Structure 1
Amino acid sequence: MSTAEPSSGPDAARSKLIDALQAVAQQDRAALRQVYDMTSAKLFGICLRISNDRDAAEDILQDVYIKVWNRAGRFDAGRASPITWLCAIARNSAIDWRRASGRVATAPEEAAFAIADTRMRADQTIEQDQETTRIHQCIDTLEERQATAIRAAFFDGLTYADLSARMDVPLGTMKSWMRRGLQRLKGCLGDD
């Protein structure tokens, strides 16, 4: 292994990985463990994303490190970064597994940008929540029987006749309560 190793940061990690790969090329099992510890999370993520199957991704990852063990002597730090070389092995292994398994390929991540999101934007949701809160606050300022009738009509879908029967008042009285309640509600909602 080389002795000139940067003290910290990405260059230090790169140098450490290069040294470990060079040791793996010499059949050093401890160095393979070091390569695994430094890269397995990233390479597993690649395998999982391509295979879309956790068990398969674990098997693919094992195959990746067997290939690393057998091919470490081919790694050339002058041509590629060590993580790029390892990621290419993981990617190709996962693609080979996908082809061999007969699984249908999924669209690339970039395809997600072409799919429209039909949900309301966050600012629209907040605005709607504020408006709903304001409506309920205004209904709470109404006389109790008007508030009850308006809630039942608009939130439960009851008709004037249903409300009249439920509250045991004449239909004309119910219509008057609703009209006065809605006028007060409109005044409350119009205030800013």
Structure 2
Amino acid sequence: MDRRLADVEDMIARVALGDRHAFEALYDATSAKLHAVCLSVLKDRPLAEETLQEVFIRVWKNADRYAANGLSPMTWLITIARNRSIDKLRAKKGRPGAAPAEMAEAVPSSAPGPEEMTIRNQQRRMLESCLDEIGSTQAKALRAVYLEGASYAELAQTAGAPINTVRSWLRRGLVQLKDCVSQ
């Protein structure tokens, strides 16, 4: 076994005895590699950093379980990091066996609520009422352009009027609409 691995094995043995300096040295010697393992599984840097801290807590608590058997101590550390990362990944994805419908129920709807729908309906009724009050030429022009998405040129062609006339209809209609809505 190469000297660096023997040093890591020695640090683990000293950590098992509660040696904080050995723990710091173990962290310094192995954290970059273990972080890379966590990151490769999780694909999320903040989550990988959090998981790495949990890995070292486990190492601190379970160092006495490491059996020096001539195999690389890094294998033991990498296994802890990999397993903890997989556990995090599973927890992040949701409960195992949860039906997609159950998971969908937990997602808040982006549809407007009852209060918002009531407000929108009132606004729509007010707009329709005001459009009915203004002249039919301006109301038709406003509906076509602002509610149906027609362009000025399309409206001019449909109405058989010059584009500047259509613009005048729209401008007068908007002024009348503004006056109606502000009452």
Per the normalisation by structure 1, the TM-score is 0.47
Relative contact order, higher structure (CA 8 A, sep 6+): 2
More helix by share: 2
